[in-house]
A and B are shown apart, each in its own frame.
Chain A
Amino acid sequence: MADMRYPDFNIPIVAATKAPAIRCVDVTLRVKKKLVLDGVSFEIPAGSLAGLLGPNGAGKSSLMRILTGMFPPDSGRAELFCAPAGPERLGVLSFLPDRGQLPPYLGAGEWLRLAAGLYPDWSEARMEELIVKLDVDRGQRIGSMSRGQEARLQLLTCLSRQAPIIILDEPFAGVDMVSRESIAQAVVGELADGERTFLIATHDIREMENLFDRIVLIGEGRMLGCHDVEALRAGGRSVESCYRDVFA
């Protein structure tokens, strides 16, 4: 076990499961003069399914862009498995951006072949399994897909990689109920191996509240809480009531 490694990345699995998958320490970001993130600190243990919750403009997407190495914080540290986030850490994470678009002129199957060539950690077996679970039609042109169909194809792309950290930005925005359910189901199926960690930004508390084991609340760029969800419930609070207490 000691020398098993994720294919193509140099992360020993044993080390990966002990360290927090994601850690932010006092992350601060300014865009022009505006303070977008103001001293955000939290930890996500490996193997968690964590929700990043907050209203529009709270700084969720900016935080995810820092974690995915698109830009560094002005101060503080953002780490993935104890190494600073940045372009050189892209191999350990798979990211589904908010309102991301796939090339509309390609068929789903053509896109998947392209993605398979793009990502060194692509798993054909996982892709085949997810095509069935997420009910994706390889023959369909992306430009003719509904929002729900495209969201399922995007998630399929994200999960067919073997990266240990999955970051999803609003995977349910504008998605029909049946697609939401199959997206939630696919996420749980991936998690049960215990080797992947999810951080999911969403407004959709109802669909996801039974799935999260941890929630991080941010508002106006500030940390407003980080909770173990079952501990909240043991104290008689739901994810939704906690969200309301903080933001309403």
Chain B
Amino acid sequence: MPPIRMWKPEDFRLDPSRPLYEQFVEQVRAMIARGELEPGTRLPSVREAAASLRVNPTTIMKTYQELERLGLIVTHRGQGTFVTEDEAAIGSSRRELAREAVARLEETARSIGLSLDQLLALAREKE
């Protein structure tokens, strides 16, 4: 059985005025996308994660439920929770993250009257 990847409060940046589970989902998704959490990594139990991060266990429970719904983690009864080894699921999550990032950037471009291409071209222009 692979060793558990334990979390410390420093591993996450939390904004106290946004739902915490949403932020954990985003940040764990990013860890998986950039390969910091490798496929098959064993995650701490809800109780262990809540205690080491000093958050309410319900928050971790909701985080795991959402990550499971996204197909990024799997729970094997009696063995624990693991990062999925399904490369297709990880790939589609990365694609989704990329789309979301582009959508945010397009929004920024629109707010200053530019298309996405114009925004990138302008940012790369030399003085």
Partners in one complex: yes
**Residues of chain A at the chain B interface (Cβ within 8 Å):** 49, 181, 184-186, 188-189, 191-192, 194, 209-213, 229-230, 233-234, 236-241
- Chain B 1-31 interface mask (CB, 8 Å, partner A; 1/0): 0000000000000101111110000000000
Is B51 an interface residue, CB under 8 A from the partner?
A: yes
A69 CA to B60 CA, complexed, in Å: 35
CB of B16 within 8 A of CB of A188, answer no
**Cβ–Cβ < 8 Å partners of A194 in chain B:** 57
**Cβ–Cβ < 8 Å partners of A184 in chain B:** 54
14 cross-chain CB contacts under 8 A: A185-B52, A188-B50, A192-B50, A210-B16, A210-B55, A210-B59, A211-B55, A213-B56, A230-B19, A230-B21, A233-B19, A233-B20, A236-B17, A238-B17
A191-B50, A213-B58 given; 11 more Cβ-contact pairs under 8 Å: A186-B51, A188-B54, A188-B57, A191-B56, A191-B57, A192-B46, A210-B14, A210-B56, A211-B54, A212-B56, A230-B58
With A233-B16, A238-B16 known as contacts, the answer to whether A189 contacts B54 (CB < 8 A) is no
Q: How large is the interface on B (under 10, 10 to 19, 20 to 34, 35 or more residues)?
A: 10 to 19
CB of A237 within 8 A of CB of B17, answer yes
CB proximity of B63 to chain A, nearest CB, Å = 12
**Residues of chain B at the chain A interface (Cβ within 8 Å):** 14, 16-21, 46-47, 50-59
**Cβ–Cβ < 8 Å partners of B21 in chain A:** 230
A49 CA to B58 CA, complexed, in Å: 10
CB of B51 within 8 A of CB of A189, answer yes
A58 CA to B87 CA, complexed, in Å: 56
CB proximity of B12 to chain A, nearest CB, Å = 10
A237 CA to B51 CA, complexed, in Å: 24
A44 CA to B93 CA, complexed, in Å: 38
A207's closest neighbor in chain B, by CB? Answer: B54
**Cβ–Cβ < 8 Å partners of B20 in chain A:** 210, 230, 233
CB of A188 within 8 A of CB of B18, answer no
CB of B17 within 8 A of CB of A188, answer no
